[in-house]
Structure 1
């Protein structure tokens, strides 16, 4: 089971491990009439029940998944963040029961859409069962997208549709100490098992928490609350009372919880027995193989992923050489990227997306900026996935400190917006898929698509073709090197010096920068694979599509096919994309 937290881009922001509780009532749902209609009806009842149980397992999950939970039959639920469990036996038993319930359905009698949902759920449950062997290898305090940095973002984007939402939010803040207690307990168990983080990781976590606590009156949980409360129909007195309560909850519950986390990490620091890759832990290599498969959605082994990466890097280098041989240094001159307004850029990207991609549905997008105090600790940008019943409201955060130039801003907004995350999300939502599909986290598909979109955006920009090729291939190569380093460090056992030597071979000679990359990869194993392997798997699918379609090949049709399948493993995407073209 994995934390549904992002690396570069924020996905469905659930702050707990995905745990699936199955009851006798659910199992009995699998016993359905022997007709095709009966099987399909029973299956959709089964997936709806599972979806409702999962999203209502904690307040954050419910609020971020559904704007109107009552329309799904979800009524009053307890207010909490949930907790973080290390009980592998209970988790395995629950998953085993759920797979047994799933197996009661006649696969051949299900509709194509339900067969796809069945396949996705079956894969996810098998993966989750394997993950129960490695629960204590999980790291909820990851350096990229850990709970300590994501929780404030989750709270700041918690939408207020009415005063009940405000009251729930304040109670949720009040429960932060209990949630952090379960987090601390989990870290203590990791420590006892010899699996606690390296000292440099602990220092980073402490710095991240300290930065949040040090905001004082400028804490964005205060300013964003004021902005959100102003949208409701409240009197000045009522607004003032709510604002005061929010400040009290922050001061009396949230900040003390962060302080307790700092103290706990400080106390546990030094108990970690490994400052190198996962393969140096007892079952670390097997665990890395597991997360490589899960994070990418690829059925390739790690050595096969390494080979795929090397082949793509060579292909990109050859493409760059062809351009340089043809036009020389002229192509190295970067075209002027005058536009620096994110909204204008997004509008431009949306308009250009229609040329090679299916037309996107209409939606509203709000661009926000990461608070200055947190710029050092948050990603370059991230997209907040909307509730599945409210996809016409979207938010993209931009970290201004990491926007080196206007081209970086342009390609980043393509990754987050059009034709990246936002586009993929709302386009798939238009297909009205089974709600259960929304709870699964297929990082390779989602991040791979966004990276693919980012690479496409170079050719949508004002750059001329040769400049676009050079810069896009260079970007692809750098990401490929990060992916190779990820596998090298965690699977092959590279040391810091090995990593420095590897990057030096490709002209990256700043040892300090490489050292930072090394520590980032140590703190987020498998993270770069989601982006790069996912991206290259889409390129591989496109090659197969071109080969089969020949002269009839259409980029727009290919994009429609893979987007219509939705997030899944690449084996399933390939299986069902051919069915899309037959429709």
Structure 2
């Protein structure tokens, strides 16, 4: 989906920022000293101007970044504004190509290449018109209040900005409807099996009591700095806006969705059935993996990884003395009550305890620990049934908001304890929190490099971080080791089922069955995962491909450096570039290996 359209939908849903940032260039002004050459000056001026354009045109992204200037508005989702943003991307690429790359320093050539890669992909994907599918089962305008999770609500102005956004919501809903109608006309719609989840999400907005609206939540609690008179006035105004604008707009949207849109969505789940679908799936596979691997190559890599990990799982099954088949062991892991907490609060307390256990062990595998703290939060109730087990929300660029590890507490009876260690290593520390926090703290690089996000690098690092639990001594329980293998298998299965559904004619049920046959994740999670891959083609391919590359580079460094190899230094080296395509990461690590040899 076009970066700006998807970002608006995803941020509105309160989902993980990587989901949004994966779509196109992240632009921030350079914090380097004024470059000396005219080429470098032009390059850094472009970085700064594009960042400002990105914030101005994407208010939700600005809010995510901690930039409060546009907190009173939504992204303009009219066709005219979308076209203007696409034109802006093409013009930025032309400006970039006019800069003499050979006149730049080595560091700025990397900046140039990363920026060019992202801009080229943003322009290439325009022809697929992803903005005609502005909502998904995982988020969109149906839960636009999710952006409030990252807003400060520290002053009266913060609340008035939220009131302004609430008043502007009917126009945003109308713009989304116009895009969806155009999508129907163009045959560019999401699969019906996913859209059938959306009416229940819209239903949460259809309240008779304004104080029960998700949009009212910020008004239920005020900071001490806001006086009683202002509190009463703000609450009164909020109730009025919700009753007179927000709820009626959602009632109209609900009728449109049920009567006009849902019946016209497509029965097919495959990306190849979209307009120019084969080229589209080839594109997203290349885009998300930052490689030139074909769907067939990725599918075969997945099959080999599935076979390897099944062998490792068999060893754990034997270690714990389970006498049945691997399938029976999976069923045991999914159903035995000892593997589950009874209440959401117990599950949340368990996540907090695991995070505290991980923190002191990080020094075993890193020399550099990021300064930015992180916390643990529950995923909002209105999206929890339809989203993943957990996700990470990065902190604000200026350090005024910590990073947060969001965990799903819906149905604790399907959230096994044995998955919690690997999940926490991936989503919090040393996974995404280290990656984003370290990136923002990198010295002497432009800010777009500090906060950028390439999925193969970012999710590859998260999956690699799960395996660092062995180096930290955190997998002493064989069931926790089974959890790590289950998560490794989860990402291997993705390679098979994503390519299977989108390029090989697999059905949804076939993909669910393959997943259930090869991983002990519960059916609730498996169905949500499969639906995520259907709705977001190609993204799930990046995790395993990225992990395999980082693991390959670690093995290369171990062999070439021998006794000189330092795991802590290697892990720091992987993170010190910020997020980059895998080819750039490999070049960096190759240079790091040579530097270690020379040292």
Give me the TM-score of the superposition, normalised by structure 2: 0.82
- The match for 1:11 among 17, 27, 33 is 17
- Answer yes or no: is the 8 Å Cα contact 1:288–1:490 preserved in 2: yes
- Following superposition, the deviation at residue 294 of structure 1 comes to 1.8
Q: For residues 343-380 of structure 1, what are the alpha-carbon distances to aligned partners after superposition, in whole Å with 9 as ceiling and x for unaligned?
A: 34323222212211233223333332234444313432
The answer to whether 1:51 aligns with 2:44 is: no
2:568 is aligned, of 542, 552, 556, to 556
Aligned to 2:370: 361
Residue 227 of structure 2 corresponds to which residue in structure 1? 235
Residue deviations 1:60-80 (CA, integer Å, cap 9, x gap)? 2222224476xxxxxx89833
Deviation at 1:570, TM superposition (A): 0.9
For residues 320 and 191 of structure 2, the distance between their equivalents in structure 1, rounded to whole angstroms, comes to: 48
Aligned twin of 1:194: 187
Task: Please report the TM-score for the alignment, with normalisation by the length of structure 1.
Answer: 0.84
Alignment of 1:405 onto 2:419:
no
> Counterpart of 2:504?
492
Give the structure 2 partner of residue 62 of structure 1: 62
Corresponding position of 1:121: 115
Counterpart CA distance in 2 for 1:368 and 1:515 is 24
1:454 corresponds to 2:466: yes
Name which of structure 1's ranges 325-334 and 355-364 shifts more when overlaid on structure 2. Answer: 325-334
Separation in 1, partners of 2:228, 2:142: 33
Aligned: 1:483 with 2:495: yes
Match of 1:298 among 277, 284, 291: 291
**Other structure's SS at 1:418 match:** coil
Contact 1:381 1:399 in 2 (8 A): yes
Contact 1:417/1:423 (<8 A) preserved: yes
Q: How many angstroms apart in 2 are the aligned matches of 1:489 and 1:86?
A: 34
SS in 2 for 1:140: coil
User: Which residue of 524, 532, 536 maps to 1:524?
Assistant: 536
What corresponds to 2:102 in structure 1? Answer: 108
Comparing 262-271 and 534-543, the one that deviates more: 534-543
Q: Is 1:351 the equivalent of 2:360?
A: yes
Q: How far did 1:336 drift?
A: 9.2
Partner Cα separation in structure 1 for residue 312 and residue 416 of structure 2: 24
Q: Which residue of 2 aligns with 1:142?
A: 136
Residue 41 of structure 2 is matched in structure 1 by 41
Cα distance in 2 for residues equivalent to 1:317 and 1:129: 41
- How many angstroms apart in 2 are the aligned matches of 1:182 and 1:570? 37
Task: Give me the whole-angstrom Cα distance separating, in 1, the residues matched to 2:339 and 2:472.
Answer: 14
* Residue of structure 1 in register with 2:196 after alignment: 203
Pairwise mapping of residues 84-483 of structure 1 onto structure 2 (< 5 A)?
85=79, 93-136=87-130, 139-149=133-143, 151-213=144-206, 217-227=211-221, 229-230=222-223, 233-266=225-258, 267-321=260-314, 329=322, 340-390=349-399, 393-401=402-410, 403=412, 404-432=415-443, 433-437=445-449, 440-457=452-469, 460=472, 463-464=475-476, 467-483=479-495
558-567 vs 433-442, greater mean Cα deviation: 433-442
User: Shift in Å at residue 309 of structure 1?
Assistant: 1.9
Matched, 1:544 2:556: yes
Give the 3 Å change call, closer, same or farther, for CA 577–248 of structure 1 in structure 2. farther
Rate the CA distance shift 1:146–1:77 in 2: closer, same or farther, 3 A: closer
Indicate conservation of the 8 Å contact 2:442/2:450, yes or no. Answer: no
Measured in 1, the distance between the counterparts of 2:68 and 2:536 equals 35
SS in 1 for 2:292: coil
| Residue-by-residue CA offset, 1:84-112 (whole Å, 9 max, x unaligned) | 54888755543332122112222233233
CA offset at residue 329 of structure 1?
A: 4.3
CA contact (8 A) 1:202 1:265 kept: no
Q: Measure how far apart 1:19 and its partner are.
A: 9.2
CA distance 1:296–1:162, change in 2 (3 Å): farther
Give, in angstroms, the shift of residue 12 of structure 1. 5.6
Contact 2:451 2:578 (8 Å CA) reproduced: no
Please give the secondary structure, in 2, of the residue aligned with 1:276: coil
Q: Deviations over 1:148-167 (max 9, x none)?
A: 34x22212331234333322
Unmatched segments (≥5 aa) in structure 2? none
Tell me the number of residue pairs that the alignment of Structure 1 and Structure 2 aligns: 563
CA contact (8 A) 1:316 1:473 kept: yes
Q: 1:500, 1:515 within 8 Å by CA — same for their partners in 2?
A: yes
* Shift in alpha-carbon separation, 1:321–1:377, aligned structure 2, 3 A: closer
Q: Distance between the aligned counterparts of 1:112 and 1:307, measured in 2?
A: 37
CA-based RMSD of the aligned residues comes to: 3.8
Instruction: Give the secondary-structure state (helix, strand or coil) at the position aligned to 1:484.
Output: helix
Q: Residue 324 of structure 1: CA displacement?
A: 5.7
The secondary structure found in structure 2 opposite 1:401 is coil
Tell me: CA distance 1:533–1:244, structure 2 relative to 1, closer, same or farther (3 Å): farther
1:189-222 per-position Cα deviation (integer Å, ceiling 9, x unaligned)? 1100112233333321112211343595344433
Which residue is equivalent to 2:546? 534
Cα offset, 1:549, TM superposition: 2.9
| CA separation of 1:394 and 1:301: change in aligned 2, threshold 3 A | same
Return the alpha-carbon distance in structure 2 between the equivalents of residues 158 and 344 of structure 1.
27
Distance 2:217 2:531 in 1: 33
CA pair 195-224 structure 1, distance change in 2 beyond 3 A: same
Secondary structure class of the residue paired with 1:376: helix
Structure 1 residue 239, shift from structure 2 partner: 1.8
Cross-structure match for 1:575: 587
Distance 1:305 1:284 in 2: 18
CA distance in structure 1 between the aligned counterparts of 2:231 and 2:524, rounded to whole angstroms: 49
Contact 1:411 1:458 in 2 (8 A): no
**Structure 1 residue 119: Cα displacement:** 1.0
* Structure-2 separation of matches of 1:477 and 1:294: 23
Moved more, 482-491 or 54-63: 54-63
